[in-house]
Structure 1
Amino acid sequence: MSAPEKIVAETRTEFGKGAARRIRRQDKVPAVIYSHGSDPLHITLPGHDTMMALKHGGTNALLELEIDGKLQLGLTKQVQVDPITRNLEHIDFVEVKKGEKVTVDISIQLVGEAVRDALVVVENTTVSVEAEATHIPESIEVDIEGAEVGTQIHASDLKLPSGSSLLTDAEMLIVNITNAPTAEEVEAELEEAEAEAGIERDESVAEAAEAAAPAEGEAAPAEGGSQE
């Protein structure tokens, strides 16, 4: 991980949805820093600069926050983004110190290509590791160049950066390389899925008809009768 980007933050005393909306209208982001044994610190961050810093920092972004002239490190734990505008809505940080160990989930990134006609299945996309707060890896590369059918890569096979230790079960399967299905197998699976869908549809129709039918001993409504 590269050196943390510095962001100048402002403390805030207004809370609630109304205050948050006012902050966002100013192109700023409401945030909270949680620390060990202290009350949460509510701050406001510049929107554009924070967005760029998070993009550079990846999933576990570490920012150097300047608050009232003092510097402290904040590790992102939850980032809320508007699903339509993609603007930042709120950020939760955890205060960390240099040399401190933290637990984070790191994404798996495949490198290379397996042999021809092989199907590469990523069974788990992240692993949990313990790493120094200032040296959190952005991702863990898994080299599958030339990997043969039958190859399985477990968590214990991962090459972790120096200073990091694996917390995930060492036997957890990360990558499984199998034979790619033939065109005939794919067609057969599609036909089977269509047949099952047809059966489920017929059963649903039958259940609906049964529910609409009058109960035993109950007269059906007379055609053309009055309605309430």
Structure 2
Amino acid sequence: MSSEKITAEKRTEFGKGAARRIRRDNKIPAVIYGHGADAIHVTLPGHETTMALKHHGQNALLELDIDGKTQLALTKQVQVDHIRRVIEHIDFVAVKAGEKVTVEIPIVTVGDAAPDTLVTVEHTTIAVEAEATHVPESIEVSVAGLEAGAQILAGDITLAAGLSLVLDAQALVVHVSASPTAAQVEAALESAEAEAGIVHEAPADEAAAE
């Protein structure tokens, strides 16, 4: 896992008003926590930071240049305006090379299960312990050829060297079931509509006959 080098500016203004002014300048307010020190409040370049997070995923590691000093920062929480699709705020954890951290890694299924089956991912991420500078962007889980009824538990997943499972080994991560038939889908829809109190009007010809 490589780190992106980004120049950050320390900020002394806080609150919603200050955050809005920062975002108007196409920058992002952020906070760096960790290692027993006071939180560091910074401002990051908007486009450069957004692209770094897109390239490296939810656990992006940034190498922040703050007043000439370098700080490794692991992304922990990103607040996004879902209407304008822009980042509003980022929380980081300060880390050091070689340090172990617990992170949630996205699960990606690969391959195709047997025909007429449905693959359900019960845990979209799994918690693992990893070196801060070697956090993978995702963990692949193969479902190739799996038949209905197959299950993949957390403990069944092969992790890369240096990763340790934190999630309960018996936790169900992926489940393969038989695809529902058209009749089952229709019955489920009718049941849901009945519970919601939805009543469909009879077709005009049926209404006339009555």
TM over 0.5: yes
- Alignment deviations for residues 96-120 of structure 1 (CA, whole Å, 9 cap, x no partner): 0000000111111010111111111
Aligned pair 1:84/2:83, yes or no? yes
Larger Rg: 1
Where does residue 50 of structure 2 map in the other structure? 51
TM-score after normalising by structure 1: 0.83
Q: How does 1:68-147 map to 2 (within 5 A)?
A: 68-147=67-146
Unaligned residue ranges in structure 1 (runs of 5+): 202-228
**Kindly tell me: are residues 197 and 170 of structure 1, through their superposed partners in 2, closer, same or farther at Cα, counting changes over 3 Å?**
same
Quick one: distance in 1 between partners of 2:184 and 2:16? 54
Alignment correspondent of 2:185: 186
Write out per-residue CA displacement over residues 182-221 of structure 1, whole angstroms, 9 at most, x where no aligned residue: 11222222233333334x99xxxxxxxxxxxxxxxxxxxx
Query: Is the alpha carbon distance of 1:158 and 1:8 closer, same or farther for their aligned partners in structure 2, counting shifts above 3 Å?
Result: same
Task: Give the Cα–Cα distance (whole angstroms) in 1 for the partners of residues 73 and 19 of structure 2.
Answer: 20
Letter in 2 for 1:80: Q
How many angstroms apart in 1 are the aligned matches of 2:82 and 2:180?
A: 36
Residues 153-185 of structure 1: per-residue CA shift (max 9 Å, x gap) = 000011112101001010111111111111122
Please show how residues 166-177 of structure 1 align to structure 2 within 5 Å.
Answer: 166-177=165-176
Q: How much identity, in percent, do the aligned residues show?
A: 66
SS of 1:19's partner is: helix
TM-score computed with the length of structure 2 as normaliser: 0.90
Letter in 1 for 2:74: L
2:21 and 2:190 map into 1 onto residues whose CA distance is 55
1:150–1:25: structure 2 CA closer, same or farther, 3 Å change rule?
Answer: same
| 1:99-158 CA distance string (max 9 Å, x none) | 000011111101011111111111221111111000111111011111112211000011
Q: Report the 3-state secondary structure (helix = DSSP H, G, I; strand = E; otherwise coil) of the residue aligned with 1:38.
A: coil
User: Residues 42, 191 of structure 1: CA spacing in aligned structure 2 closer, same or farther, 3 A cutoff?
Assistant: closer
Give, in angstroms, the shift of residue 35 of structure 1: 2.2
Aligned to 1:211: none
Instruction: Tell me, in whole angstroms, the C-alpha distance in 2 between the residues paired with 1:90 and 1:191.
Output: 43
The equivalent of 1:215 in structure 2 is none
RMSD: 1.5
Q: How many residues of Structure 1 are paired with residues of Structure 2 in the alignment?
A: 199
- Cα gap change, 1:188/1:140 in structure 2, threshold over 3 Å: closer, same or farther? same
Structure 2 vs 1, CA of residues 43 and 195 (structure 1 numbering), >3 Å: closer, same or farther?
closer
Q: Distance in 1 between matches of 2:190 and 2:40?
A: 58
Which sections of structure 2, spanning at least 5 residues, go unmatched?
200-210
CA distance in structure 2 between the partners assigned to 1:192 and 1:24 by the alignment: 47
Counterpart residue identity of residue 97, structure 2: K
Return the offset for 1:94. Answer: 0.7
Q: Which residue number corresponds to residue 207 of structure 2?
A: none
- Provide the rounded CA distance (Å) in 1 between the counterparts of 2:64 and 2:143: 39
SS of residue in 2 equivalent to 1:63: strand
Moved over 6 A (4+): none
Distance 1:53 1:162 in 2: 25
Shift of 1:93: 0.9
Aligned AA for 1:157?
A: D
Which shifted more, 104-113 or 14-23?
A: 14-23
